[in-house]
Amino acid sequence: MNDHPLEAHLRYHGISPWEIEVIHGYLSSRFKVIQEELEPETDSEFVTVLNLDIPLPFNEKFFQWFELRRWEKIKKLFKEMKRRRSKRQLIKIQINFSGSPKISFIIDSSDKYLYNNSVEKIDFVIEMLPYHLVPEKLPSGVTSVIYKFDSEHARWGLKTVYSGSKKFEFKDNTWKVIT
């Protein structure tokens, strides 16, 4: 997108060297990858955590630039990571895109089918953004949105938005301030 290498940040724990090498390989063809191995949180239920910061907005241009084949390989790796863990070993992947607003996806279903379904459907959210991000439907001044996979309806939905120092969650068909 420009002449300077964009930096993608990869923070993780509980991931095998092979998995890190593969994801690094997919990302390094387009980004300068900054890696950081995290200490596991003692109170976390997740054995594996992967947090990926992509320095581009979540839109059609990203997928054209990044290339669909490369994106499909990353999704395949995420599903393979789930397959390699037992049912008791929970995995959480968070993908954060820059832009206005920043868009994040949290993949953390303990059910393998729903986990794989959520991975497959991330790129379909692009079609829904014009409906989800209508300013009249959101609190004013939204800077960041977090999508969570709704296992009951098998689709991605806006779960949390941030506006300034306020955090809102969507409950009972309305946005409620929680901090």
* Residue 22 confidence (pLDDT): 95
With 60 as the cut, is the pLDDT of residue 152 above it? yes
Query: What is the per-residue pLDDT across 52-97, written as a single tens digit (0 to 9) for each?
Result: 999 999 999 999 999 999 999 999 999 999 998 877 778 999 999 9
Average pLDDT over residues 110-126: 93
In a domain, 170, yes or no: no
In a domain, 144, yes or no: no
- Quote the mean pLDDT of the chain: 91
Query: What confidence category does residue 2 fall into, taking pLDDT thresholds of 50, 70 and 90?
Result: low
Percent of the chain, pLDDT > 70? 98
Spatial neighbors of 158 by CB under 8 A, at least 6 apart, are: 132, 145, 146, 147, 170
Q: Measuring CA to CA, which residue among 62, 51, 60, 114 is closest to residue 87?
A: 114
In a domain, 148, yes or no: no
In a domain, 176, yes or no: no
In a domain, 81, yes or no: yes
In a domain, 11, yes or no: yes
In a domain, 153, yes or no: no
With 80 as the cut, is the pLDDT of residue 120 above it? yes
Split into its structural domains, the chain has a count of 1
Q: pLDDT: is 122 or 179 the higher one?
A: 122
- Predicted TM-score (pTM) of this structure: 0.91
Burial of 81: CB neighbours in 10 Å, binned 0-12, 13-18, 19+: buried
**Which segments of the chain are extended strands (E)?**
7-13, 32-37, 46-54, 90-97, 102-107, 142-150, 155-163, 166-171, 174-177
Query: What confidence category does residue 105 fall into, taking pLDDT thresholds of 50, 70 and 90?
Result: very high
* Residue 50 confidence (pLDDT): 95
- Please tell me what DSSP assigns to residue 75: H
* Structural domain that includes position 84: 7-127
In a domain, 167, yes or no: no
Average pLDDT over residues 165-170: 93
Q: Measuring CA to CA, which residue among 48, 44, 51, 46 is closest to residue 10?
A: 51
* Residue 179 confidence (pLDDT): 79
